Structure 1
Amino acid sequence: MRVLIVDDEPLARARMAALLGECSDVELVGTLTDGEAALAALDELQPDVLLLDINMPGIDGVSVARRLAGKARPQVIFCTAYEAHALQAFELGAADYLLKPVRLERLRDALQRARRRLDDSPREPTAFLHGRLRGEEVRIALHDVLCLLAEEKYVVVQHVGGELLIEESLRQLEEAWPDQLIRLHRNCLVPRTRLVGLRTLTDGRVLARLDGSEHSPEISRRNLAAVRRWLRLG
């Protein structure tokens, strides 16, 4: 089971890593210091479980859990010094709520609870986009897509390995994967998991910050409210 630690306190991260070393069938895939970094790393690290602090700079743990609510992976286990958020945590579907200092047996119980949930909810099948590259048919996994841009008769798929042209329209793609894609502009869709923030220019235009890409597509006024709602609530 792949576990990612997200906590802004170095000592807490080190202690949790040591405890995980005492747990069987667990692989620590990384330690991060804030919620924004965690959300940006999900596609790359593919954790099964987040050991998640609540009070962190930037995007806090509750906001991260809200983004992930309803998804099978990763399961969220809160690790915090405060009892006040326990009810909200379980309402968001957290697998468990651990109070610091976390005891080894309590951590093992929480991981086992998360494991049972994962076993009951298998991974969703990978979605693919199909197109042609230099005369050959190719496919790109949706989770490797950075941005989808409409250009004349085709849609340009910018992905982690380059670019691909496909014949489906943005509307067809949006209707096929409404939970995975979000519209930024009439000529632009991006995977929701790639959207990590916004940047407002001095002239009032708002650009999207995308995980894994230096490209910052503009967000239209018509779509800005929905994009902000997704970033806030997921």
Structure 2
Amino acid sequence: MKVLKTLLVDDEYSAIEGLAIRLGAFPQIKIIGHARNVDAALALISESQPDLIFLDIEMPGKSGFELIKQLQPELCPAIIFVTAFHQYAVKAFEVRALDYLLKPVKRERLAEAIARVTSNFDTHAKKPQMLEVADFLQNGGATHPTDTSTAYRVEQEKLVIQDGHHPAQLLPYKDILWIDAAGDYMCVHTSSDTFVMRARMKSLITDVLPDGFLRIHKSTIVNLQHVVKLEPLINSEYNLILVNHKSLKVSRTFSKQLKESLSP
């Protein structure tokens, strides 16, 4: 078993300490240091050449994405982002991060992420992958066209999320609260996690999702079984409240169909 030299980068020491405690349960992880900003992290990376970095995104001065920009492609470690904000998920996977963990990090998700890193090293996939990271950033974030038809498939009562860089994840439809769009990517939200898949909203609602999912906005789909109430706004628009108290705007275009779908 390869022991991975691991660096923790987060501006909050409590977050570093908590993650270090969790990582202590994984013998394949050897923490060689921590940094609380990008400049300190770059110095440690140059000195110790880690195999893996757990990297926060929002930090004072420079972000985690800016750290990646400054790394030499052929020496770039594997990256697992750890953040409290799901809105960076699309960009994180565009730069080919191995995983994207939301704080507070659950042990089972941490185990999945470490398994992915180990698998990448076992198959010698690390260098090509990280060269893609550098290529993406050096080209200003431009992505290459890909075939979205293989990004997802339907299997029984589960949505199979596959982005082409990670093992497929099986997500029961009943666990999905809502889905929102970010370009050619979709963020699929459960009560506790956010998953990212490359797909188009029209294809999802037409060809993939079962009955009970409804579009309420040009960029939002909801699972009707998790809707608690509608709050009327002006111009025939509404706020829709989910069981987790999440509020989503219903546009006028979709409000009539939504009300009909929720009627007894």
The TM-score, its normalising length taken from structure 1, stands at 0.50
More contact order relative to length (CA 8 Å, sep ≥ 6) = 1
